[in-house]
Structure 1
Amino acid sequence: MVALWSAFVVVHVVIAAAGWLYPSQPMGDVVLVYEPWSTAALSGGAIVGITEPWVYPQLALVPMLVAKVLSTPLIAAMGASEAYLIAWAVLVTVLDAIAFAVLLGRASSRPRRAAAWFWVAALLLLGPIAMYRIDAVTVPIAVIGGLWLVRRPATAAALLTIGAWIKIWPGALVLAAVVATTSRMRMLLTAAAVSAGVVALLFLLGADTEIFGFLTEQTGRGLQIEAVAATPFLWLAVSGAARIEYSFDILTFQIGAQGADAVSAVLTPLMVVLVVVLTAIGSLKAARGAPSARLFPPLALSLVTTLIVMNKVGSPQFQTWLIAPVILWFVLDRARVVGPAVLVLALCALTCLVYPLSYDALLRAELLPIVILTARNALLVVLLAVGIRAVVGVPTHRPSTTRE
């Protein structure tokens, strides 16, 4: 336990410091957008998601505001931007520590210790992007919610739903839990109640047309260069047959090429279809008596991976989404998690090599980072296939029949 907690502290210090040292400004979102959004909201200016459109669900603003409040005592000593970065790193570390403590418990089992070592390794390999994004806040929420699914299903559903109102992906864990566990009705009602409460609060705060703006804002996005579906276009960019362009509307680099918009347009429908298919397979397995401890982890990982593979966006922080399902898989079914865990660790390492370490070269369409990114995206597809295969392979227990 001492070794685990020591590793936890060291890794968080290392990735926090790496954000200041690595190229391509991996802390950029925190200091360039989170801090201004928070300052505007607290100073009577525009409130993203309330008075103006926003790409995130509205509860994402809460940790940004918390970090702003925490940074206030430090501003006089180091300036607003530096103070906010430190406050953000502290906030993420504290949230991770709470989830880490819940994971290990008072008498930690071998599967839980293995899950904790996996988490530490994944953070180290992924680097500062694992800390300096809003996604980092949702990982500990998802871990705690997943760990409480059996004994505290309503609380777990509430936590995961709150996580989904910060960044959509924890909703995949809610869906997997509703399909795979026996407390599905309680969790459904809890998730609906929490969402209704959030919507009511947003109405009281003055939001109306912007309440679901985080969904409509995504429809106009182009194909981001790191998305899985953008991989062929990156190879075209090497020869000049495609362009890498910057979108000032959504602050990201996208593909400019014939056919890119068509690919972007079909990805979301394909994502929905695959989510429906996976849900149907999982529901059939559950109806036939599949053990929830066997069914939930691969179904959760498959659904989350679907959100990445079929996404028109390929932001590096998406790899943090994979950490929670694998942690839960370690705890619930350690014997079958080794393959997926190794794949996720490899994905974290390859992602860090792309962003931030070789991102400038990627923007110039140089060969090496495109090769690395291609390998990363190929592994994502492999992980999805592994997850689906695991779901299909979950045994069922049909009622026995007797012969007269």
Structure 2
Amino acid sequence: MSRRGVLWIAFVFVHLGVAVLGFLLPNEPMGDVYRVYEPWSDQALSGHGIVGITAPWVYPQLALVPMVLAHGFAWIYAGYTGGWAILVTVCDALAFAMLVGRGRSVGRTVGAWFWLAFVALLGPVGMYRLDGITVPLTLAACLWLVGRPWLASMLLAAGVWIKVWPAALLAAAVIAVRRRLAVIGGAAVVSALVLGVVVAAGGAAYALGFIGDQAGRGLQLEAPVSTLYLWQAVARVAGSYIYYSRDILTFEVTGPNVDLVIAVMTPVLVLAVAAVAVLGGVKAWRGASFAALFPALSLGLVSAFILFNKVGSPQYYTWIIVPLVMGLVLDRHRWWGPASLGLGIALLTQLVYPVSYDGLLRAEAGPAALLTARNILVLALFAWSVVRLVQVRARPHLHARRSAASRADGVVDGLGAR
């Protein structure tokens, strides 16, 4: 059997297994699908209001599109929840086909195996969330960035209007891709279209409401910054405990000086992301190639967005898939280390949620240790990306620049290195 055939068999088994695990594991890892996505989409389809248009919403407006589309698959198996799993699998299959191609590129094959391993280790939370839609969308965009920057940037912008995180990859593309005006132009077209439709539908007041909703949140339990408060809750320190926020529908932590930490985290996040972007910009100005710069820069921006965020849902760790796959596609020997860290992050995330989440909510030491280990690995991944960015070669010789550009064009845009 061909290498490509084995990959596709593995794809089917991994997605089927993860979909079924959503129904078997504790703590309802697919709960968001039928508790929030289905009611929101039902409301829109029945004409009783559209979130983000007639009412404020925590997500950008295009997030409603996949929620509605999942109804089209609901008849196949297990109603809306099964329909959502099928929709995510179809989106993954389209991006997976792009990544694998004809199965002749070793880098693309390694990237494909990594993606499947990550999906299996992270478990159902990666499938039964909006992030399961944005990952294949952004991966397809990144594979097209060099050869089709207009289309790639439009896909990235669409991802931003579903879940904000692809903005990190869009920023990395603006910095690392030589045809920057095409990247900016494609994103501007999509954003203008979305905003135009929202305003025309009467939703001007809520067009950017998702930004304020995120900024006003407390410290989510699983966020790296919450680690100290989590251990204070484990130690039963007075005033430190875990509670459920009914406004945001998630568990948060509190303790001494928590309001100060909440207030400073958004500026810290902005500064961290800006520092990584400036470093990437300097490397681009000095002539760094796309192949060397983009994976490290995108990983740095994405991991900074996770590490310094006061929100830290388990599905956020799907965000590192795309930078790591791109790193493996373009320079697999250098990217084995961070890819291994990524797989460790995925496994620990699933062990925390949904496997031991009940114990974590009871502030037990074992689950807290698993979560802390995961957060340390995230810190290590961010540190690696920054070191790699610093090491990216600037002002290479003309021959090296042409070689790097040729490799980027071939591997990223479908020709593939044999």
Question: Structure 2 length as normaliser, TM-score?
Answer: 0.92
Q: Which of 298, 318, 332 matches 1:300?
A: 298
* Alignment length (residue pairs): 393
SS of aligned partner of 1:253: strand
Q: Which of 107, 121, 132 matches 1:125?
A: 121
For 1:391, the equivalent position in structure 2 comes to 389
Q: Which of 305, 310, 320 matches 2:318?
A: 320
2:72 is equivalent to residue 45 of structure 1: no
2:153 is equivalent to residue 150 of structure 1: no
2:207 is equivalent to residue 208 of structure 1: no
Alpha-carbon distance in structure 2 between the residues aligned to 1:275 and 1:256:
25
SS of aligned partner of 1:378: helix
SS of aligned partner of 2:178: coil
2:246 is equivalent to residue 248 of structure 1: yes
Deviations 1:226-263 (A, max 9, x none): 00000000100012221101011010001121222211
SS of aligned partner of 2:123: helix
Contact in 2 for aligned 1:145/1:159 (Cα 8 Å): yes
Query: Structure 2, unaligned stretches of length 5 or more?
Result: 399-418
Superposition map of 1:78-97 within 5 A: 82-97=78-93
Q: Which of 92, 100, 109 matches 2:96?
A: 100
One-letter identity of the residue aligned with 1:312: K
Superposition map of 1:1-400 within 5 A: 1-71=4-74, 73=75, 82-241=78-237, 242-397=240-395
Shift of 1:219: 2.1
Contact in 1 for aligned 2:103/2:109 (Cα 8 Å): no
Alpha-carbon distance in structure 2 between the residues aligned to 1:100 and 1:108:
14
SS of aligned partner of 2:147: coil
For 2:410, the equivalent position in structure 1 comes to none
Contact in 1 for aligned 2:135/2:319 (Cα 8 Å): yes
Contact in 1 for aligned 2:293/2:389 (Cα 8 Å): yes
Alpha-carbon distance in structure 2 between the residues aligned to 1:66 and 1:319:
24
SS of aligned partner of 2:332: helix
Contact in 2 for aligned 1:225/1:255 (Cα 8 Å): yes
Contact in 2 for aligned 1:16/1:89 (Cα 8 Å): yes
Which range is displaced more, 199-208 or 253-262? 253-262
For 2:402, the equivalent position in structure 1 comes to none
Alpha-carbon distance in structure 1 between the residues aligned to 2:326 and 2:207:
31
Contact in 1 for aligned 2:352/2:367 (Cα 8 Å): yes
Shift of 1:339: 1.0
Shift of 1:69: 3.2
Alpha-carbon distance in structure 2 between the residues aligned to 1:360 and 1:107:
43
Which range is displaced more, 356-365 or 259-268? 259-268
Shift of 1:271: 1.0
Contact in 1 for aligned 2:165/2:302 (Cα 8 Å): yes
Alpha-carbon distance in structure 2 between the residues aligned to 1:48 and 1:136:
20
Deviations 1:165-203 (A, max 9, x none): 101111111110110110111111111111111100111
Contact in 2 for aligned 1:223/1:261 (Cα 8 Å): no
Deviations 1:98-149 (A, max 9, x none): 0000001124300000000000000000000110001100000011000000
Alpha-carbon distance in structure 1 between the residues aligned to 2:197 and 2:104:
39
SS of aligned partner of 2:164: coil
For 2:401, the equivalent position in structure 1 comes to none
Which range is displaced more, 354-363 or 192-201? 192-201
Contact in 1 for aligned 2:73/2:86 (Cα 8 Å): no
Alpha-carbon distance in structure 1 between the residues aligned to 2:108 and 2:72:
34
SS of aligned partner of 2:86: helix
Where does structure 1 differ by over 3 angstroms across 4 or more consecutive aligned residues? Answer: none
Contact in 1 for aligned 2:296/2:385 (Cα 8 Å): yes
Alpha-carbon distance in structure 1 between the residues aligned to 2:149 and 2:11:
28
Contact in 2 for aligned 1:278/1:299 (Cα 8 Å): yes
Alpha-carbon distance in structure 2 between the residues aligned to 1:260 and 1:8:
44
Alpha-carbon distance in structure 2 between the residues aligned to 1:66 and 1:22:
26
SS of aligned partner of 1:218: helix
One-letter identity of the residue aligned with 1:240: R
Alpha-carbon distance in structure 2 between the residues aligned to 1:216 and 1:64:
22
One-letter identity of the residue aligned with 1:327: V
Q: Identity percentage over the alignment?
A: 50
* RMSD (CA atoms): 1.2
SS of aligned partner of 2:270: helix
